[in-house]
Amino acid sequence: MITQNSFAMKKIILIVLAIISVQSFAQTTKSFMWDGTNRQYIEYVPSVYSETEAVPLVICLHGLGDNMTNFSGIGMQTLSEYENFIVLTPQALVAYYYTYEIGTAWNSGASYMGIVLNQTVDDVGFLSAMIDSTKALYNIDPDRIYVTGFSMGGFMCHKLACEMNSVFAAVASVAGTIGNTMTTTPELAMPVCHFHGTADSTVLYVGNEYGNDAEELVNYWITKNNCDPAPSVNETLPDIAADGYTVDHYIYSGGDYSSEVEFYKVIGADHEWLFEPSNDITYTIKIWEFFNRHSRDAYVGNEELTREMDVKFFPNPAGNFIYVSADKSGEINLAICNYLGELVLTKKGIQSGLVDISALENGIYFIAAEQNGKVYKQKVVIAK
């Protein structure tokens, strides 16, 4: 059921958003080697976080030519102080066309005249490893992992919605759709929220050269989620700000496993992220409100997502090998982080058995095993 209980929270957030540029909470820049390249991301842990409570995880993806530091300014970190979730803002790699530097770009499925930026970069693998590393360090609710992004980051959101379909509880895109080269289709329903300006001069509302159009995207997810074709909400938001924009708001509900598609059509807006009071809507707040309505536990009854997991690691302390024992069937994805939170070892698609950890030095490590959407984690000491 849709609720509108965020007015008080908005008043607080609008005040705090004004001082985002000087905030200094628990923000850390982290990095690890992935596919032979050093990859970076900003981790933000709110001051209210406690390891005794499982919290949501929100991934924020910047656009073409942007960077993680700049995109951290959308206010999601500030909002996390009030709503208690962890925020990760990763950095895309610089892309080149022959020898010409284009700027930072995700391998998002978007293309132009057959050109796909960073086509050989394993961004899906990098983001998956980043999530696994964070799960190993913090008490993350595996049923409440979300991703949002702007422009090319929005395109990347939809790629993740298809290729990491069982990981995310919901996605929200701003001015980014499904790229032209995308062929993977989601196996499960995915709650989706999309924002698009009708005057977008970069990713056109109609005539998008990099992927499908805004309303085509909305209709794609309505069909995939088996939502009712008629919107349960069809309204125009109050036109208060003198920005020349009006916001049409739609919700298509009744989808499989309580999924829905929410759409904000901003009449007259260009390629931009909107904030109150300059605009009639704050995208960041609306995105969190959407995320906060959705959880993977809506899939109760789906055997693949609710299978109990019981994974053990021994011996502990360990030497050059550690034995992974799973009581249930299914592939296991393993991530090991050192005490600094750096990802030092991953193993994908393994079964019960010995895992070689001889490359790791003596010390304290955090190990996380994911199987069928469930996560088991443990502190492990290596003493050779």
Neighbours of 315 (CB within 10 A): 12
Compare 293 and 302 and report the one with higher pLDDT.
293
Give the tokens for residue 18. 């004004």
What mean pLDDT do residues 361-372 have? Answer: 83
% pLDDT > 90, the chain: 67
Query: Which of 23-27, 280-284, 373-377 comes out lowest in average pLDDT?
Result: 23-27
Per-residue model confidence as pLDDT tens digits over 78-126: 999 999 999 999 999 999 988 889 999 999 999 999 899 999 999 999 9
Give the tokens for residue 307. 């299978």
**Partners of residue 314 on adjacent β-strands:** 323
Per-residue model confidence as pLDDT tens digits over 259-280: 999 999 999 999 999 999 999 9
Query: Which of 285-289, 351-355, 372-376 comes out lowest in average pLDDT?
Result: 372-376
Say what the pLDDT of residue 362 is.
87
- Can you tell me the distance from the alpha carbon of 149 to that of 229, in angstroms, rounded to the nearest whole number? 26
Is the pLDDT reported for residue 9 higher than 50?
no
Per-residue model confidence as pLDDT tens digits over 148-203: 999 999 999 999 999 999 899 999 999 999 999 999 999 889 999 999 999 999 99
Say what the pLDDT of residue 374 is.
75
Helix axes 7-17, 283-291, angle to 10 degrees: 130
The residue with tokens 């209210």 is 48
55, 58, 148 from 83: Cα distances, Å: 9, 12, 17
Domains, the chain, ordered by start: 27-299 (3.40.50.1820), 311-382 (2.60.40.10)
The answer to whether 282 touches 11, Cβ cutoff 8 Å, is no
- Can you tell me the distance from the alpha carbon of 161 to that of 334, in angstroms, rounded to the nearest whole number? 21
- Can you give the chain as a three-state secondary structure string? CCCCCCHHHHHHHHHHHCCHHHCCCEEEEEEEEECCEEEEEEEEECCCCCCCCCEEEEEEECCCCCCHHHHHHHCHHHHHHHHCCEEEEECCEEEEECCEEEEEECCCCCCECCECCCCCCCHHHHHHHHHHHHHHHCCEEEEEEEEEEECHHHHHHHHHHHHCCCCCCEEEEECCCCECCCCCCCCCCCCEEEEEECCCCCCCCCCCCCECCHHHHHHHHHHHHCCCCCCCEEEECCCCCCCCCEEEEEEECCCHHHCCEEEEEEECCCCCCCCCCCCCCCHHHHHHHHHCCCCHHHHCCCHHHHCCCCEEEECCCECCEEEEEECCCCCEEEEEEECCCCEEEEEEEECCEEEECCCCCCEEEEEEEEECCEEEEEEEEECC
CA nearest to 194, candidates 290, 89, 292: 290
Say what the pLDDT of residue 283 is.
97
